[in-house]
Every structure is written in C-alpha cells, then in structure tokens.
Amino acid sequence: MKTLVWVEHDNQSVKDATLSTVTAAAKLGEVHLLVAGKGVSGVAEAAAQIAGVGKVHVADDAAYEHFLAENVAPLIAQLMGDHDAVLFPATTTGKNVAPRVAAALDVMQISDILSVEGADTFTRPIYAGNAIATVQTSDKKLVITVRGTAFDKAATTGGSGTVEAVAAAGDKGLSTFVGAEIAASERPELTSAKIIVSGGRALGSSEQFHALIDPLADKLGAAVGASRAAVDAGYAPNDYQVGQTGKIVAPMVYVAVGISGAIQHLAGMKDSKTIVAINKDEDAPIFQVADIGLVGDLFTIVPELTSKL
C-alpha cells in the first residue's frame, strides 16, 4: 500500500505530530509525505530526513500558506490518484482538512486511530474514550487521522526521501486568512511534553492559576494545561485545555491540581504514564485514575511542593 502523510508544519519547521503519523503510515506500507505551504523548501528538506520516508511531494504556493481546507483538500484529492491511503495527525489542521478530502473521494474517514490492526482494520476511541471500537473499512481509498500519543515518533534523521514538486491546484477563492493570535509560551508544547501540570477551577482566579501552577511547572520543566472549567472561567487560555474537546495528552507525569476529573477531562489525559492528583475532596473522581493522590488544600500544598522540588 502506498500512503501519503500530511506534514504538519508552520512553513518553517516540521511539527512533532507528523512523526507519530509517519509511524502509523509505515504500518500500512510505503510512506510518502506531502508538504504544502509557502516557502517550504526548508521544511521539505527536513521532512526528507525522517526515517522511512520515500518521496516528499512539495506544493509551494501562496494558496497553501495557511492550510485553508478549501485550497488544500483538492490538492490532496488529486494526489490520491497515486496513493491508497492518506494519514493526517489529529491536530486542528488535520481534523479540518481530512474530512473534506474524504468527502471529495467519497470515502468514510477513520478518525483518531489508536492502532493499526490490519490493512483495513483500526481501533479508535468513542464516547470520550470510554469505549474502544475496532472498525473495518470497505472503502478503496483510506482517509485517516492519527492520535499522536498512541504511536511512537519516527526518527527525524536517517531518511533519504526524494523531493518532488507538485503543481499547485490554485486558490479556490472561497476563503481567505485574516489573522492569527498565537499564544506565546516558552514552555514545552502541551501535546509533546514529558511532564504536564494542569490546573482546574479550584485555583479560583487567573492570578492564582499563574501564581501557583506556573512556578511548579517551571520547576519541573513541564507544560501547563487546564481543565475546561478553568478555561471557561478565564483562568487559562483556550489552547491549554486538556480533554475530549481540547488536547489529548499522554505525558510521563500528569499533575492534576484542583481538577475534579469529569469524564470529558479524563478523556484527554488518562493514558498518561503516571497521574498525580492534588485535591481537597477525597471523593473526587480524579483519585480513581490517579497513581499518586494527595488530599488537601492546594493553596498550601502547591507552594510547599514547588519549594521542595
């Protein structure tokens, strides 16, 4: 089987999410990559170094700079004449573009796969990760999004892919990019961090969230996450949200501070290797999944913990 992998990048460097997707694609067969963007020769060169990669298709055009689905999907659909499967990381870009490609090819997309069981059989989570379904597709072409935390990352070196330009399919004129507000952060990226410190509603305010969670995260070299309650209350920005509707993470250590553990939150973090919970309510559901729990007032525990690390 010949697979095509969507390379997630920011027109400058390859994002980590791509690497897990390459691992999933390699289980299906030969791996080709697609780098679509503007001024992406550097990205294409880096992509060609990824272990196990055959060909790197490069579509360099202003129409692809912001990965607008209306422009990118027809390009991919066109490349699918030559490929049997296309895999996207289940990032916001992948989730935005992949179904548009699937509909163009008249196939059912398989979302957020956790494993490859065979050439046409995959597992995926349903009901906020409370059940795992094994599904078999009857479609001739496969369109798949891949849960990054479920696959190891392919090595970024050792590959020797050949770079080949693809003719751009042009701007469809349906949409234009206006602007972006990217949250600045010096900390590790949430989805690839080894340690995450996450805060919930119990933090009480944005000031307290930053005063307590940030120093602890910095001490541990951790990324900062949040529950939906904390995000909705304005304590933390949207892109911090861990859960069914936010980011799915599986770090080595996940420290949940003042998070009760609603099923929607657990869906985003329960595959973490070790879960540490700090909560004053000893009946909080978070303690049912926590490996190490500490019952008590986070306003005294967290500063003490930070100072003792």
Q: Which residues contact 70 (CB under 8 A, 6 or more apart)?
A: 100, 172, 174, 175
- Asked if residue 227 belongs to a known ligand binding site, the reply is yes
Looking at beta carbons only, is 166 or 294 nearer to another protein?
294
Residue of 120, 118, 121, 150 whose CA lies nearest to 133:
121
Cα distance between residue 258 and residue 279, in whole Å: 5
Using the minimum distance from each CB to another protein, give the nearer residue, 52 or 285: 285
Q: Which is nearer to another protein, 25 or 68 (CB)?
A: 68
Smallest separation (angstroms) from another protein to the CB of 100: 4
Which region, judged by CB under 8 A, interacts with another protein, from 31-39, 44-52, 161-169, 177-185?
177-185
> By CB under 8 A, what part of segment 66-95 binds another protein?
66, 68-70, 73, 91-93, 95
Distance of CA 256 to the CA centre of its chain: 20
- The count of chain residues that interact with another protein, using the rule CB under 8 A, is 87
* Interacting residues with another protein between 244 and 303 (CB under 8 A): 244-245, 247, 252-253, 263-264, 270, 274-276, 282, 287, 289-295, 301
Count of CB atoms situated within 10 Å of the CB of 67: 20
Structure tokens at 205: 């305010």
Q: Which of 11, 54, 84, 135 binds another protein (CB under 8 A)?
A: 135
Q: Which stretch, 22-30, 31-39, 61-69, 199-207, contacts another protein (CB under 8 A)?
A: 61-69
Judged by CB under 8 A, the residue of 157, 160, 167, 183 near another protein is 183
Cα distances (Å, whole numbers) of residue 242 to 88, 89, 188, 213, 229: 20, 17, 15, 15, 11
List the one residue out of 54, 36, 58, 48 whose CA is nearest residue 156.
Answer: 48
Does position 99 interact with another protein (CB under 8 A)? The reply is yes
| Owner of token pair 């050792």 | 158
Q: For residues 148 and 241, what is the distance between their CA atoms, to the nearest angstrom?
A: 17
> Among residue numbers 17 through 46, which ones bind another protein (CB under 8 A)?
none
Asked if 163 is part of the footprint of another protein (rule: CB under 8 A), the reply reads: no
49 marked as part of a ligand binding site: no
Burial class (CB in 10 A: 0-12, 13-18, 19+), 152: exposed
- Binding site listing for FAD: 201, 227-228, 241-245, 258-265, 279
